[in-house]
Amino acid sequence: QLAGLAVIAFGLWLRFGGPMAEFATDKKSPELFFMGLYVLVGAGAIMSAVGFFGCCGAARESQCLIGTFFACLLVIFAGEVTAGVFAFIGKKVAIEEAQKIYEDAYEDYMKNPVGKVNSTIYRYHVALQCCGKGNVEQQTGLPCPENIQLPKASNCLVEIQNVIDTQLRLLGIVGIAIASITIFGMIFSMVLCCTIRNMREMI
């Protein structure tokens, strides 16, 4: 249950508290990346619910509930492995998608550097602590954060790649940790189930 709640909190933090949250405030957002976060939060919710049933099964010494707990953990483990493979394969697509969003905002700003377009690209610059997408000449007239330093000043596309790489690395670490907990949960649930069965046979 605690692991499930931790996964939910981590997924929500990446979605609403990290730098990538700025991409979700616009009409366009890197759907592939956020889809992975929604799957993570969903897995955390399922883990919490399954943990509750596992506690009930252990408290009541019910082989049926513990067996169900094992089956649910097996499904969750398979889902985690699938999500990990999906994230690894889709990393390049997620980066390109996020970079395209910034480039579109950049082009919109160049066509109409006032109002909402101005605030949109400024939000990206503040969140990523960068300005522009290629060289110093492309920063002319851009709403850049204060005290920005080179080389970040001209590499927003690079910063986007770094942010997504970092976030996906964190997801990978959390996924490995949760998968390890899931494996131990399956092992202990089977040991407990066998122990309960042996005790009843002795009685």
Cα angle at 2 between 36 and 58, to 5 degrees?
A: 120
> Is position 185 within any domain?
yes
Structural domain of residue 175, as residue ranges?
61-202
> Is position 95 within any domain?
yes
Q: How many CB atoms lie within 10 A of CB 143?
A: 17
Q: Assess contact for 136 and 154: CB atoms under 8 A.
A: yes
Q: Quick one: pLDDT at residue 185?
A: 82
> Is position 22 within any domain?
no
Residue 62 CA to residue 31 CA, distance in Å, equals 42
> Is position 20 within any domain?
no
Number of independent structural domains in the chain: 1
From first to last of its 203 residues, the chain has per-residue pLDDT tens of: 777 787 788 777 777 766 666 665 555 555 656 666 677 777 778 888 888 878 887 777 777 888 888 888 888 888 777 767 766 777 787 788 888 888 888 888 888 777 766 777 887 888 788 888 766 555 556 777 777 665 555 678 888 888 888 877 777 777 777 778 888 888 888 888 788 777 776 66
